[in-house]
């Protein structure tokens, strides 16, 4: 299968030099859709790299407006965007930079009541939210829909990355690692703004999310059943492996090896 134009061949020529990437890989990416939840320090680089790589359709979900305090780490926004919805500004920026990607902007919050409807019809979800409760809602919705999920988080100099694929045996889910409120109601859930976050740390995690998302969308394997933990000050990266929990309230150990 060939790319659609000579311009595409020039644009993606360096990408195609990688032995794992073929024209079929890029065609698959061009025919795919992905949903980014949270257009902040994580979501901005994720959206940029997915669009730049030639993703066909991108859905952006975030109810928030741009604030001046966002600017050091949310790289799609500038001072003149303060007060505008993040998804609107991101759509305009990405439309200028990468017009071939169709963008759907939803300025609303993902909740337990609307998660499945907001996330349906997509090939992949990338969770870039900053609260445990939101990640649990997204994790459960993706499990029910059978859609793979790339979760990232960052706080101060540290970050985490987790790939969940309910289609894959032994994948487990977010709730296998982090108990839900029903299981551990005393968990303190606060946004990164309450504790601080370093722009480069959150940017690194966002790039890692984009990396795993591109692999999945192009049909390449991405590691599941493990939590990647980043320490940006020392550039340390550690992996913690885990198995699905039989008593998990979301997946119930389904797919356990």
Q: Helix, strand, or coil here: 111?
A: coil
Tokens 């680089």, located at residue? 45
Q: Which two tokens stand for residue 13?
A: 């020529």
Domains defined for the chain, CATH in brackets? 32-241 (3.40.50.720)
Residue 194: predicted pLDDT: 66
Burial of 5 (0-12, 13-18, 19+ CB in 10 A): exposed
End-to-end Cα distance, the chain: 36
83: left (phi over 0), alpha (psi -120 to 50) or beta: left
Question: Is residue 224 predicted with pLDDT exceeding 60?
Answer: yes
Q: Read off the pLDDT of residues 81-118 as tens digits, 9 standing for 90 and up.
A: 999 999 999 999 999 999 999 999 999 999 999 999 99
Catalytic site residue from 128, 173, 176, 192: 192
Tokens 């980043």, located at residue? 230
DSSP category for residue 70: G
Is 192 one of the catalytic residues? Answer: yes
Show contacts of 18-25: CB within 8 Å, 24+ apart.
20/220, 21/218, 25/218, 25/219, 25/220
Q: Read off the pLDDT of residues 109-156 as tens digits, 9 standing for 90 and up.
A: 999 999 999 999 999 999 999 999 999 999 999 999 999 999 999 999
Distance CA 81, CA 76 (A): 10
Q: Read off the pLDDT of residues 177-191 as tens digits, 9 standing for 90 and up.
A: 998 776 665 555 555
Burial of 79 (0-12, 13-18, 19+ CB in 10 A): exposed
């Amino acid at each position: 299968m060939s790319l659609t134009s000579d311009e595409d061949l020039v644009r993606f020529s360096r990408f195609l030099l990688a032995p794992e990437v073929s024209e079929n890989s890029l065609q698959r990416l061009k025919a795919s859709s992905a949903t980014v939840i949270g257009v902040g320090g994580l979501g901005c680089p994720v959206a940029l790299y997915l669009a730049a790589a030639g993703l066909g359709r991108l859905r952006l979900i975030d109810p928030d407006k741009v604030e001046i305090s966002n600017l050091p780490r949310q790289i799609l926004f500038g001072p003149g965007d303060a007060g505008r919805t993040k998804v609107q500004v991101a759509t305009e920026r990405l439309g200028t930079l990468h017009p071939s990607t169709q963008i759907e902007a939803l300025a609303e919050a993902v909740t337990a009541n609307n998660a499945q409807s907001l996330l349906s019809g997509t090939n992949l979800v990338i969770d870039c939210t900053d609260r445990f409760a939101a990640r649990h809602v997204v994790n459960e919705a993706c499990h029910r829909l059978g859609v793979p999920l790339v979760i990232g988080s960052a706080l101060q100099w540290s970050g985490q990355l987790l790939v969940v694929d309910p289609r894959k045996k032994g994948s487990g889910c977010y709730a296998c690692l982090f108990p839900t409120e029903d299981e551990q109601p005393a968990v303190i859930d606060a946004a990164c703004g309450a504790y601080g976050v370093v722009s480069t740390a959150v940017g690194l995690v966002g790039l890692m999310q984009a990396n795993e998302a591109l692999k999945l969308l192009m049909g390449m394997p991405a590691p599941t059943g493990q939590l990647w933990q980043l320490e940006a000050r020392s550039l340390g990266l550690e992996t913690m492996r885990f198995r699905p929990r039989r008593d998990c309230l979301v997946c119930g150990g389904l797919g356990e090896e």
